[in-house]
Structure 1
Amino acid sequence: MRFRHAPEIWTGHPTLAAGVLVVDGVSDRAAAGDAVARHLGTARALLDAGPASALPQLQAWRRTFAAMGLKPTQYRCAAESLLRRLGKDGDLPRIHPLVDLCNAASAAAAIPVAALDRDRVKGDLEVRRAHGDEAYTAFGGEIERPAPGEVIFADEAGHAHARRWTYKQSGTSIVRPETRDVLIVSEALHPGAAADVEALLTALADDLAAAWPGVTPRLTMLTSERPAVELAG
């Protein structure tokens, strides 16, 4: 089982920086609250300094969404959506300790972070353009068909585990109470993105190891020369 970006993604987005954490043996019981609070404090400081839309991390995604034919104010990358919700509500909802930690770290860095239950991914997972016959399951259970050419996270069974690249994950592989093995993906496009993604995932790996004793996250940075990572098997 592998995770990779298709060659066309690297070619079309030469500033892309991507990294993954492979995490085995988590549970829905963990003391992640202090780390979540720390990251949310950093995120609030970002918002106090100015509008989230002015951050270079989010401007880069806005330009990319616009180039894909998406209205950046209608479809926002996941990190911008989190920051907007934090600014509006003063907090983020608590869902699962791992999801809460990933969301808080994403908001603090203004960089998208996805967390997927690996047991619900069939075969290899690839970030690529949709063919048009893939199935995306919304959180409410509705089935959608991504348009041909849309950037998705696709597995070998034709499931789209994310739509519009970093816009929204699928309900198929969200982290649940019974989730044990997880793939965490972070991607950015701004100047200096590689160092920022690696710093984000390194900090997140430390937080995960502290919250789940005995868990050892494995970090891999991906490049066009090294575009894939083995997840299991």
Structure 2
Amino acid sequence: MKQKFIVRDSFWELFPETEIAVLLADDVSNRSYENMPKDLLKQANSRAIKWVEEDPISANPVIKDWRTAYQRFKTKKGARCAVENLLKRAKQQNGVKSINPVVDIYNSVSLEWAFPVAGEDRDFLKGDLELTIAQGGEIFVPISEERTEEALTGEVVYKDSESIISRCWAWRDSARVQVTEDTTNLVFYMENINPERKAEHKQAIQLLQSRLKQYLSIETTFGLITKQQPEITL
């Protein structure tokens, strides 16, 4: 059976207006910076500041949206949406640094459009990818760490049949499925929780697709997950 990306009813009960853009790419090469602008991340960090001009950072609308969302489910203390971390670093002149070509591209889009963007290595997913509410105790190993964590009861998580893929919705990703230079088959997802940002969400998706194609010759297929269309085939 083919793998699916499924958003469960328990999530829609909390966030019925969320839209999740999903991009799939096969047989990619993630090793060459030859066609990428050397200042891609520098420019993206600079452009990101427009989203967080107010102090404190929580006063900015895109941050407020996610802070409010995170108050609706159980989170680990201090957990914030990944896009808040990127924008905060940009504001503090400590912008995100290069990791590998694919990650740099989706981070640049996240910075410029203020949407969280995740990329995962599909070859390491076990079974379906699900966005759901944790029962509690599900295993998670964060990127760059060896210690094992457990999800909280009531926490919004991405998971597969083996373990947690991302804790606290869009906070931290799993080391098991992280994108590396050896990654060849990818799934990207970008969440929008504010219905008033639909047009911006669409533009961010198009920018991600165009940069992947222009800089790395990566062709992507697109799907949109909504409450009315809660799953797609990977």
TM-score (norm 1): 0.89
Matching of residues 60-139 of structure 1 within 5 Å? 60-70=65-75, 74-139=78-143
Per-residue CA shift, 1:200-224, capped at 9, x if unaligned?
11111000000112x2111211111
> Match of 2:129, as an amino acid?
L
The 3 A distance-change label for structure 1 pair 40 and 94 is same
| Equivalent residue, structure 1, for 2:231 | 228
Local SS of the residue matching 1:89 = coil
> Match of 2:158, as an amino acid?
F
Q: Which moved more, 1:123-132 or 1:32-41?
A: 32-41
Instruction: Tell me, in whole angstroms, the C-alpha distance in 2 between the residues paired with 1:165 and 1:42.
Output: 25
Instruction: Tell me, in whole angstroms, the C-alpha distance in 1 between the residues paired with 2:232 and 2:29.
Output: 20
| Equivalent residue, structure 2, for 1:8 | 10
Instruction: Answer yes or no: is the 8 Å Cα contact 2:123–2:185 preserved in 1.
Output: yes
- Identity of counterpart residues, as a percentage? 26
Matching of residues 39-50 of structure 1 within 5 Å? 39-47=44-52, 49-50=53-54
| Equivalent residue, structure 2, for 1:145 | 150
Instruction: Tell me, in whole angstroms, the C-alpha distance in 2 between the residues paired with 1:12 and 1:151.
Output: 10
Instruction: Answer yes or no: is the 8 Å Cα contact 1:40–1:105 preserved in 2.
Output: no
Local SS of the residue matching 1:166 = coil
Instruction: Tell me, in whole angstroms, the C-alpha distance in 2 between the residues paired with 1:45 and 1:223.
Output: 28
Instruction: Tell me, in whole angstroms, the C-alpha distance in 2 between the residues paired with 1:71 and 1:87.
Output: 24
Instruction: Answer yes or no: is the 8 Å Cα contact 2:125–2:177 preserved in 1.
Output: yes
Instruction: Tell me, in whole angstroms, the C-alpha distance in 2 between the residues paired with 1:18 and 1:195.
Output: 13
Deviation at 1:99, TM superposition (A): 0.7
Local SS of the residue matching 1:50 = coil
Deviation at 1:8, TM superposition (A): 1.8
Unaligned runs of 5+ in 1: none
1:194 aligns with 2:198: yes
- Report how many residues are paired: 227
The 3 A distance-change label for structure 1 pair 20 and 2 is same
> 1:156 pairs with 156, 161, 185, which one?
161
Per-residue CA shift, 1:51-100, capped at 9, x if unaligned?
4433322211101112224488x221000001111222342111111111
Instruction: Tell me, in whole angstroms, the C-alpha distance in 2 between the residues paired with 1:4 and 1:37.
Output: 35
Q: Which moved more, 1:62-71 or 1:138-147?
A: 62-71
Instruction: Answer yes or no: is the 8 Å Cα contact 1:78–1:167 preserved in 2.
Output: yes
Local SS of the residue matching 1:115 = strand
Instruction: Tell me, in whole angstroms, the C-alpha distance in 1 between the residues paired with 2:49 and 2:29.
Output: 28
Local SS of the residue matching 2:65 = helix
| Equivalent residue, structure 1, for 2:216 | 212
- Superposition CA RMSD, Å: 1.9
TM-score (norm 2): 0.89
> Match of 2:87, as an amino acid?
L
Deviation at 1:108, TM superposition (A): 1.5
Deviation at 1:143, TM superposition (A): 1.0
Instruction: Tell me, in whole angstroms, the C-alpha distance in 2 between the residues paired with 1:38 and 1:206.
Output: 17
> Match of 1:75, as an amino acid?
A
The 3 A distance-change label for structure 1 pair 209 and 37 is farther
Instruction: Answer yes or no: is the 8 Å Cα contact 2:30–2:181 preserved in 1.
Output: yes
Instruction: Tell me, in whole angstroms, the C-alpha distance in 1 between the residues paired with 2:86 and 2:138.
Output: 27
